[in-house]
Amino acid sequence: MLQSWLPVPPDSDFSIYNLPFGIFSDERPARVGMAIGNWVVDLAAAYALNMFPQYPEAGNAFRKAALNDVMVLGRGFSEYVRKIIQTALCDHQSDLRQLADHLLIPQEKVRMHMPVKVGNYTDFYSSEEHAFSVGQLFRPDNPLFPNWKHLPVAYHGRASSIVVSGTPIIRPSGQTGQPDGTPAFKQTRALDYELELAFVIGKDSVIGQPISVEAAEDYIFGTLLLNDWSARDIQRWEYQPLGPFTSKNFASGVSPWVVTWEALQHFRVPAPAQHPEPFPYLTHHPLQNFDLSLSVSIKPEGSEEFQICQTNASGIYWTAAQQIAHHTITGCNLQTGDLLATGTISGSGISQKGCLLEATLNGTKPVKLGEGIERRFLEDHDEVIMRGFGQRGDIRVGFGELRGKILPALS
């Protein structure tokens, strides 16, 4: 077991085994940092002290306000940086310890920013429990569409409205359908969250050349929590025949720290068996997911927070590798900074549902938050908090928090 001279709480998401990358600022401009416990390692300042001699080009990358230039240098580089910092945290004589006042900044004193510049965003529909539960609400005799077990279903989202944790979410207005089949224009009364993971693409692929399922994971730099905010009443009216549009393009939230692909390897577990077996371009063995505990809490204004979902990423049907292989099978190219999200992650029990649409049976059965407090969908000034982590013995790797507070619709 690695032992750090810097005190790290045992329940910290940012253990010495994690060391995620993010973009932070204080009184100085935004730049690249690394989380350890309750601290941020200033990687730009560490570079200036020649802590990364094998990569002289890293200086410019560490001074950028997005991780894209860091990712372009490759996973070998990011692992080199993690190893240097990890070793320094275990060495009582290291420059990191001797110059801690210069290199370590309390997280409470920094502002976190969007970690990556996102060029494209694709949201999949990879949890069978979620797809089945939603299908039962609207098609009880045929919950899964015929294509669902043959390919990873997805829609292309809006990259420009992806926001970092803590960004307020304004209640959207739009067209909704009425019982008589006519539309009305009003603010959404069915605002929802969706608990997801997002895979951050760390290198470009070539247009016209599919990425094989065997090579797909080589393109992933790391992972974020993602909240795909959704206006369900707007979605019901607009989604046929081409899928969601304005009901989801107003905001998607992400956690600020990118957990590297290497840090997640402690938590590999088998993915669910797939029947029928998909086409060869989607077939790979072993099928693997990650044992990551995920939760959602709601904090009404002036109240404590109430956890209403506890689930796990291990049951996702379509794996990250399969998502990438299918996304590129036609020759579509991926670019550094692209996000590929899992879609809502749900389990079978009502307390394992990753969105209110499922947990409340489309608003027909409210969830209890506390004495006299219940929700069918989100209300103004509610704050949604998502968390996630993996734990194997004393090794803990987590994402921190993803928060978003609902503000009233614009008048």
* Residuewise pLDDT in 10s, the chain (411 residues): 899 999 999 999 999 999 999 999 999 999 999 999 999 999 999 999 999 999 999 999 999 999 999 999 999 999 999 999 999 999 999 999 999 999 999 999 999 999 999 999 999 999 999 999 999 999 999 999 999 999 999 999 999 999 999 999 999 999 999 999 999 999 999 999 999 999 999 999 999 999 999 999 999 999 999 999 999 999 999 999 999 999 999 999 999 999 999 999 999 999 999 999 999 999 999 999 999 999 999 999 999 999 999 999 999 999 999 999 999 999 999 999 999 999 999 999 999 999 999 999 999 999 999 999 999 999 999 999 999 999 999 999 999 999 999 999 997
Residue 344 annotated as binding site = yes
In the chain the first and final C-alpha atoms are separated, in Å, by 56
pTM above 0.85, yes or no: yes
The verdict on 319 and 261 lying in the same domain is: yes
The verdict on 125 and 274 lying in the same domain is: yes
Residue 65: which domain range? Answer: 21-112
Q: How far apart are CA 114 and CA 59, in angstroms?
A: 20
To the query of whether residue 327 is one of the catalytic residues in this protein, the response is no
H helix or E strand, kind and range, residue 62: helix 58-62
Note whether 258 and 222 are within 8 A (CB): yes
The verdict on 60 and 125 lying in the same domain is: no
Domain end residue (candidates: 50, 83, 112):
112
The verdict on 233 and 380 lying in the same domain is: yes
**Six-digit token pair at 41?**
């390692």
Number of domains in the chain: 2
2 found inside a domain? no
5 found inside a domain? no
Sort 363 into a burial class: Cβ within 10 Å, 0-12 / 13-18 / 19+.
middle
The verdict on 33 and 174 lying in the same domain is: no
The verdict on 97 and 238 lying in the same domain is: no
Domain end residue (candidates: 61, 91, 112):
112
Residue 47 annotated as binding site = no
Residue 228 annotated as binding site = yes
Q: How far apart are CA 6 and CA 90, in angstroms?
A: 8
Residue 188 annotated as binding site = no
CATH of the domain at 196: 3.90.850.10
Asked whether the bond before 140 is cis by omega within 30 degrees of 0, the reply is no
CATH of the domain at 43: 2.30.30.230
14 found inside a domain? no
Residue 265 annotated as binding site = no
322 found inside a domain? yes
Q: How far apart are CA 237 and CA 173, in angstroms?
A: 13
The catalytically annotated residue of 92, 102, 113, 130 is: 130
Residue 217 annotated as binding site = no
Residue 186 annotated as binding site = no
Which of 168, 300, 175, 267 lies closest to 227 in space, CA to CA? Answer: 168
The verdict on 163 and 78 lying in the same domain is: no
> What are residue 301's phi and psi, to 5 degrees?
-60, 130
Domain end residue (candidates: 112, 132, 164):
112
The verdict on 94 and 239 lying in the same domain is: no
